[in-house]
Structures are given as structure tokens and as C-alpha cells.
Amino acid sequence: MRSEKENKTIVINNSSIAPGENKLVQIKIARLPTGTLIDIPVHVFNSKKPGPTILIQAGLHGDEINGVETLRRMLQQDIFHVKRGAVMVVPILNVFGFIHFSRDVPDGKDVNRSFPGSKTGSLASRIAYNYTSEIIPHVDFAIDLHTGGAQRHNYPQIRYTAEDKMSKSLAEMFNAPFCFASRLIQGTFRKATFKMGIPTIVFEAGESMRFDENAINAGMEGICKVLAGNKMISKSAKTKKKTSIPLERRRWIRASRAGMFIPSISNGAHVQKGQELGIITDTYAKKSRKVSAPFEGYIFCLNHQAVVNQGDALFHLGR
């Protein structure tokens, strides 16, 4: 019989991780057309002392590699050997997308619109189902690492669920430069965990298919703060004292015309109402149009697309 002072044994895919044990577990998903088996690697660090079980994952979209590198560095530095509780680390959830440099799986479906999934559904749905069945039941709370997509660069930010007070507390503990409540989208990992009573925060930083040192470092620092806040690791003496800026009002600033987009402001910058943020110009130097801030606030997403169409999102402004 297990002592009340001893942590629980975690069982994933018929593999047991006893208290005080660390193990790499593979969740079998499917095969490539060549017959090669594809599985999801899950690093489990189970301490002897009881405490919360936290899931930290990246690569839910295969082209969002900043989170993958964040967790790789933390694994390399042995940061997840916790003093209490357990940590489950999934550096690449969507292995198919990662192989193909794609947000989605080969059939074009988004795994992060497929939760909780189906045992007999599409490939994306099967991945979501196996993950929901094998991993989520063990979890007390989760951190999901993402980047911007389609050449949009996100300044480090945390998103939480307004209806879940614990997720807001986790967001404050993570202490990214910006934080805000974000609506739940059908089929996402965060909505599935919310329905299961598991608080989840989403860290967004950088852009797809590019490493960003600021994003990677902010992710590592935030994860360490959450682990330290739950007394799973010791607090770092290097922890910055700045607190997150909560963004209550947010608005996309869109292109009023098509052309070449040249920003004149840095991501993360504080701007004044009416301040010029960039210009959209034609290729003949005949016409150009300024892009201005509609209100005072902070730029927390910047589009790096050089040629834009009318209506394209250029800046995300919040205050």
C-alpha cells in the first residue's frame, strides 16, 4: 500500500513510472505510407514526494518550433528533475506536422481543432483522442507553447481562460511580458482541458519556422517560475521582477490597401494614439499610405509579410 507521503505511480500506454523514476514513454499513433511507425514521445519525471502533475507541451502545430527548442533546452539542462509532484514533457505533439514543416497533419486537418478526438476519425482526430485518453487524465494543469503563424510574430504573451480563476493565477505566475483572457475555441486543447476541469495556459511567442532567442528565453523563464511557484524546483536568483501587463482591450490593425508593407515600429513597443506604425506603398513609388495607431497601447503581434492584401492583419494592439 502506498504511503500518503509518497507520490503516485503514473501509467501511460501500459508503461509505469514509479515515484522517484524518470522515463521516456512513446504513445503509438499511426504509420507513414512507408510503414514507418510514428509515435509521440513523452518525458515523465515523477518525484518521490506528492505534489501536482503538470503537462508542458509544444509542437501541437508542427511548424511552431520555438516551443520545441524551449523544451529541448530545458531537458538538456535537467530542469525537470522536480522535488515534488510530476512533470510530463511533450516537445513535439504533432510529429506529422513537424516532419512536413506544416501546421497541420498530411490530410490538412488541424490537431488543435480536433480535441477531444475520435478513435475512428481522421488522423488529427485520432492523435487528439489518443492524447486525451493517455495523457490528460493524469494532469492537474497544463502549459501549451505556441508561436504566431503565417509570418505573424507574437511578442511573448500568456493567454488564459476568463472562466477559470486557476488559469489566471498560473498566467500571473508565469509572468510573461503580456497576458490576457482569450476566448475558448471549439476543438482546441485548451477547451477540452477546460471541460475536464484542468486549468491550461497558452504561451505565444515568436513566429513559425524561426528560432527566436527572446521567445525561447521567456518561455524557459516562465515555465521555471510556474515550477518554482508550485515548490517543484528552487527559485532562481536571476528572476526578473517585472510583472505582466494585462491587456483588456485588443484590436487588429488591418491593411487599408494592398501593397508592400514596411513597419516602422518594433514588436512589444508602447505607442501613442495616432502614432505612425508603418506604411503600405506600391512598387512604383507613386502612392503610399500610413498605418496609424487607433489608440494608445502596446504592439504584441507584428506581421512580417512584405507584400500584403487589403484587409490583412498587420499589427495586434492592446491596452
Span 155-180, pLDDT tens digits? 999 999 999 999 999 999 999 999 99
Domains 10-229 and 247-318 equal at CATH topology level: no
In this structure, CATH architecture of domain 247-318? Beta Barrel (2.40)
- Cα–Cα nearest to 257, from 225, 223, 224, 281: 281
Assign 107 a pLDDT band (cuts: 50, 70, 90): confident
- pLDDT greater than 80 at residue 220: yes
The grid coordinates of residue 274 equal 495616432
**CATH code matching the domain that covers 10-229, chosen among 3.40.630.10, 3.40.50.1370, 3.40.50.1820, 3.60.40.10:** 3.40.630.10
User: What pLDDT, on a 0 to 100 scale, did the predictor assign at position 150?
Assistant: 83
> Helices (H), strands (E): how many in the chain?
6, 19
User: With a threshold of 0.85, does the pTM exceed it?
Assistant: yes
Average pLDDT over residues 26-40: 88
pLDDT in tens, 85-101: 999 999 999 999 999 99
Q: In the chain, where are the structural domains located?
A: 10-229, 247-318
Average pLDDT, the chain: 94
For 293-303, give one letter per residue: b (16+ CB within 10 A) or e: beeebbbbbbb
- Residues 304 and 207: beta-carbon distance below 8 Å: yes
Residue 142 · residue 187 · CB < 8 Å: no
Nearest residue to 244 (alpha-carbon basis) of 277, 268, 275: 268
What digits encode the pLDDT tens for the residues 191-214? 999 999 999 999 999 999 999 999
Residue 31: predicted pLDDT? 85
